[in-house]
């Protein structure tokens, strides 16, 4: 158990999301075995971020990109183990608790900011994906809409936000949605099978090779690392999985971490290799954007991906909302905010709290909706979230916490790897932000029929697209 203050636990992990129904005091049989804990961890790692791995391989180069994917997995594995070590050193088995024990209120507020940024930017990326994927499906059934893809995309996001996202985010028992994460994982696996099938079937052998297609290395290493870090980000669930284990020890935790990160790397590598080998230098930030609009199997995959995202969206919104509410309460009360983590925090008491929760939710959801049209490409959003939120959360802060909490000297064998983790994360974050921010919006466009799809059903039907064709020899990532 943890001796964290109620405030610290207010938004930590999914522990604040899933209703525990009095798990305290239950026999050990109710806790997870090592295989069960590994599955839960895999479920928290593998998500929508894997869809951008082929694009990351394109940015870094195929050979160097695969090498980076291994490096990112190894570093993530080490940082996850380091977090639990920090928990034992501080006696605080939560991420905010560890940071508060190491750096006081400053560490706590820094973590609060990053933990708000990560899900909020993820919500923006979900809007981008839903708009891109569902608009392609709609145009498949109503080809005439293809002449105004920008309007269709905006309309899709608006309708989904009003009629699906907001009701789900205002749902009083959000913990039930958290249990649907298994369905989200199943959707990702089915999409992976569809991507591998399309590669083996040869349906996209018409995709042209270019001088950029099989280059071993490119110069865009930093953005690629950001996308990979986003795909492996699971540190907000670390202590939840650890405390759910039977006979939780560091040795058992290391086994669970190795198994989980290893399997997640396998899924990411399969997505990356299959996707990149199919489209090579034309790989986009959202891999599903590469498939032709009349490809019904991939249209089904697009629907599955949208379902997966819509199941995840309210969970991300809940985390952002609880961080905002907790900070507002602390600001006005100037004292520790009482928060009962043994109850589903989505159950608010009192009409005033209910109204404030609704207003906060609407502000966050519409803020994400308003920002999302400024970019039509998933790649830059994944890079931004990976560089500014995921990498600091996954690498910089765990390393800093261990350096502060461990009694060993800075140049000791125990601390040097943690210091290297901090240096790596800091360099990637600062240099990545400097590279990415000036080009975040760029001239990236969606709603384009790829050159190898120009003879598809949409084109044969005579649908007119503004700038909807692409040179088959085009190797740019600005599709």
pLDDT tens-digit profile, the chain (479 residues): 334 443 444 444 444 444 444 444 445 555 778 888 888 888 878 887 899 999 999 999 999 999 999 999 999 999 999 999 999 999 998 898 899 999 998 999 899 899 899 989 889 989 988 988 898 899 888 888 877 888 888 999 999 999 999 998 887 655 566 566 778 888 999 999 999 999 999 999 999 888 888 889 998 899 899 999 999 998 877 888 898 888 889 999 999 999 999 999 999 999 999 999 999 999 988 899 899 988 999 999 999 999 888 888 888 888 888 888 888 887 776 554 433 333 333 334 444 467 888 999 999 999 999 988 877 778 788 888 898 899 999 999 999 999 999 999 888 998 999 999 999 999 999 998 888 776 655 445 556 677 888 654 443 343 333 333 333 333 333 33
CATH class, range 30-334+355-461? mainly alpha
Residue 245: strand pairing partners: 32
**Given CA atoms 68, 222, 51, 453 in this order, what sign does their dihedral have?**
negative
| pLDDT at res. 285 | 87
| pLDDT at res. 279 | 94
For 79-109, how does the pLDDT look when each residue is reduced to its tens digit (9 = 90+)? 999 999 999 999 998 898 899 999 998 999 8
Residue 334 zone, left/alpha/beta (φ > 0; ψ -120 to 50; rest)? left
User: So where are the chain's domains?
Assistant: 30-334+355-461
Neighbours of 157 (CB within 10 A): 24
433 contacts: CB under 8 Å, gap ≥ 6: 387, 388
Residue 297 zone, left/alpha/beta (φ > 0; ψ -120 to 50; rest)? alpha
| pLDDT at res. 194 | 96
Number of H helices, E strands in the chain: 18, 0
| pLDDT at res. 163 | 92
d(CA 98, CA 82): 11
pTM recorded for the entire structure: 0.81
For 406-421, how does the pLDDT look when each residue is reduced to its tens digit (9 = 90+)? 999 888 998 999 999 9
Cβ-contact 241, 39 below 8 angstroms: no
| pLDDT at res. 379 | 78
| pLDDT at res. 330 | 74
| Dihedral angle of Cα 13, 14, 15, 20, to the nearest 10 degrees | -170
- Residue 36 Cα distances to 33, 169, 385, 401, angstroms: 5, 29, 29, 29
CA atoms within 13 A on the CB side of 187: 23
DSSP alpha helices (H): ranges in 142-210? Answer: 149-160, 166-169, 175-178, 181-201
What are the phi and psi torsion angles at 193 (to 5°)?
A: -60, -40
d(CA 395, CA 228): 13
């Amino acid at each position: 158990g943890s001796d964290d203050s109620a405030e610290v636990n207010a938004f930590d992990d999914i522990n604040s999301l899933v209703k525990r129904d009095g798990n305290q005091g239950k026999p050990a049989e109710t806790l997870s075995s090592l295989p069960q804990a590994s599955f839960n961890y895999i479920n928290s790692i593998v998500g929508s971020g894997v869809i951008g791995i082929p694009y990351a391989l394109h940015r870094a180069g195929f050979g160097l990109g695969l090498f980076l994917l291994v490096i990112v997995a190894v570093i993530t594995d080490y940082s996850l183990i380091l977090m639990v070590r920090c928990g034992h050193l501080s006696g605080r088995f939560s991420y905010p608790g560890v940071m508060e024990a190491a750096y006081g209120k400053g560490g706590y507020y820094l973590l609060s900011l990053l933990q708000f940024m990560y899900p909020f930017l993820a919500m923006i990326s979900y809007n981008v994906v839903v708009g891109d994927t569902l608009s392609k499906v709609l145009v498949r059934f109503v080809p005439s809409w293809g002449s105004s893809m920008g309007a269709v995309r905006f309309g899709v996001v608006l309708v989904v936000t009003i009629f699906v996202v907001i009701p789900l985010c205002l749902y009083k028992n959000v913990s039930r949605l958290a249990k649907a994460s298994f369905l989200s994982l199943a959707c990702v696996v089915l999409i992976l099978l569809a991507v591998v099938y399309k590669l083996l079937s040869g349906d996209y052998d018409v995709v042209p090779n270019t001088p950029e297609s099989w280059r071993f290395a490119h110069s865009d290493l930093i953005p690629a690392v950001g996308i990979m870090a986003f795909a492996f980000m699971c540190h907000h669930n670390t202590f939840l999985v650890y405390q759910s284990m039977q006979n939780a020890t560091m040795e058992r935790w290391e086994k669970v971490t190795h198994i989980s990160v290893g399997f997640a790397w396998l899924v990411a590598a399969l997505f990356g290799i299959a996707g990149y080998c199919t489209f090579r230098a034309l790989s986009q930030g959202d891999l599903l954007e590469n498939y032709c609009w009349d490809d019904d199997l991939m249209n089904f995959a697009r629907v599955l991906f949208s379902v997966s995202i819509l199941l995840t969206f309210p969970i991300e919104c809940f985390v952002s909302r609880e961080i905002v509410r907790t900070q507002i309460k602390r600001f006005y009360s100037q004292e520790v905010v009482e928060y009962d983590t043994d109850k589903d925090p989505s159950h608010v008491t009192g009409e005033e709290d209910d109204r404030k929760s609704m207003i906060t939710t609407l502000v966050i959801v519409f803020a994400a909706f308003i920002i999302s049209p400024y970019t039509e490409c998933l790649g830059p959003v994944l890079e931004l979230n990976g560089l500014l939120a995921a990498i600091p959360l996954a690498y910089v802060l765990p390393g800093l916490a261990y350096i502060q909490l461990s009694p060993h000297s800075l140049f000791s064998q125990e601390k040097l790897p943690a210091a290297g983790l901090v240096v790596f994360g800091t360099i990637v974050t600062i240099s990545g932000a400097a590279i990415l921010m000036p080009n975040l919006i760029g001239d990236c466009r969606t709603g384009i029929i790829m050159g190898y799809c120009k003879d598809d059903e949409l084109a044969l039907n005579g649908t007119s697209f503004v700038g909807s064709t692409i040179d088959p020899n085009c190797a740019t990532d600005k599709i």
